[in-house]
Amino acid sequence: LSPSESPSKLPSDSPTLNPSDSPTAGLPDGGTLVSSIIDSDSSISYFGCNSVSRSSASVDGTLEKFHCDRTNLNDVPAGQIFSAPYVQATIAKKVRIYAGDAGTGLDPIGVMLEGRINPEAQWEEIGSGDLEYSNNNARNERSSALYVESTYEIGDVNYTYAEVNFPSNNKVYSDYKVSFSATRNYGSSRLQFAELEIPGLLLPPPPTPPPTLSPSESPTKSPTAHPTPAPTPYPTAAVADSAQAVNTVLYPGSVQSFGCSRTVRAGDAISPTTEKFFCDHLDMPTTPDGYWVDGLIISPAHGKLSVAKDLRLYTHNNCVNCDCVEYLLEGRVDATSAWEEIGSGDFPWKEASICRNVRGLPINSTFESGDTDRCYDSVGYPSHSTPYLDYKYTCLRTRGKHRYHQLGRIELAGFILG
């Protein structure tokens, strides 16, 4: 699908599907269109294969490939079942498949998508169709270090993929079954592909904040969660009159990650958009209770001392269990000094539902407040007045003991000293 075929569907302006793009869909308000409503959180099983290799690679966001052995099973549909480990209502609008690195004869060419509301329910067909690849003979390099950068509207144009659309589907499901009826070479004993996406609508979680609140109103950012966002609640924070109040003291700046086997877009952790930072904990040690610890060391480009007042964390686009829920914030006056704690503890969203941000949207915040058109949480430091040059943000726990830690943006509202 090319953007020109859906010109009115701009992610920044229409986070809930424009009715003109799908007149029969009648999609609910408040959802977020995402590149895939399934991800590595899902419980994954397979069928129609004697055996599989790298089952989770089909949704890991990279070009590492999924392999299915179909010896003597050519007349049997093969595929995967994805079950979310947490309550997540979704509406599927497409299936998108990225080709693997082996011969074209191993490519799936026919797909059917089914959904169900829970594991006890019957499967219901959403739609089916033929997979026509963007470049019929081109192969995608196999690599767990090459990431697929797609949107709801369009797949990653750097790679060969095919998709089938279901524009009239408006049914809500939580589990999905993807079946492939055949490979390009009907007699092939193998089926392979690099990545599977189900672009669609990610609906808000059940009403833990009141259901009348929309994501654009930042549902978990209630007064009790943000008791001190404005400058007036800081009577003890003796800050020089010449200090400049800013929405974040961190950007622009250099970013160094730690505790990650690999990171993607580390600089986007502080950039003024919801493009996400990604940390993979593969092969990294855990705490005794099974959590990974990682974080970021940030050296602001202004090179001046600053006083932190409000730490804000914006959500990324999909993986709820990849959110950080317990943190430590530290500062130091120069590169040779010891780190000193500014604050630590739980984010208020630890036990609450939280909406998601579409990737790549601009963030327009102030010293007093985060961007109320985006989904975020914050922790204030009303009495803190110690200036620091560099900052160290440590995520002590993600919501789901997840292999990945992801976020949309970190802001540290405060004062830059003259």
User: Each residue's pLDDT tens digit in the chain (418 positions)?
Assistant: 444 444 433 343 333 333 333 333 556 666 778 888 887 667 899 999 999 998 888 988 889 999 999 999 989 999 999 987 555 789 999 999 999 999 999 999 999 999 999 888 999 999 999 999 988 789 999 987 788 888 889 999 999 999 999 999 999 999 999 999 999 998 899 999 999 999 998 876 554 333 333 444 444 443 333 333 344 333 434 566 789 999 999 999 999 999 999 888 889 999 999 988 999 898 899 999 999 999 999 999 999 999 999 999 999 987 888 899 999 999 999 999 999 999 999 999 988 767 888 777 899 999 999 999 999 999 999 999 999 999 999 999 998 788 889 999 999 999 999 8
> In whole angstroms, what is the distance from residue 87 CA to residue 231 CA?
38
Which residues are registered as beta bridge partners of 115? 124, 176
| Three-state SS at 160 | coil
> In whole angstroms, what is the distance from residue 277 CA to residue 319 CA?
12
Sheet with 108-116, side-by-side order of all strands? 43-47, 78-83, 175-183, 108-116, 124-130
| DSSP β-ladder status, 195-197 and 306-314 | unpaired
| DSSP β-ladder status, 404-407 and 340-346 | unpaired
- How would DSSP label each residue in 227-269? S--SSTT-TT----TTPEEES-SSSSEEEEEES-SEEE-GGGG
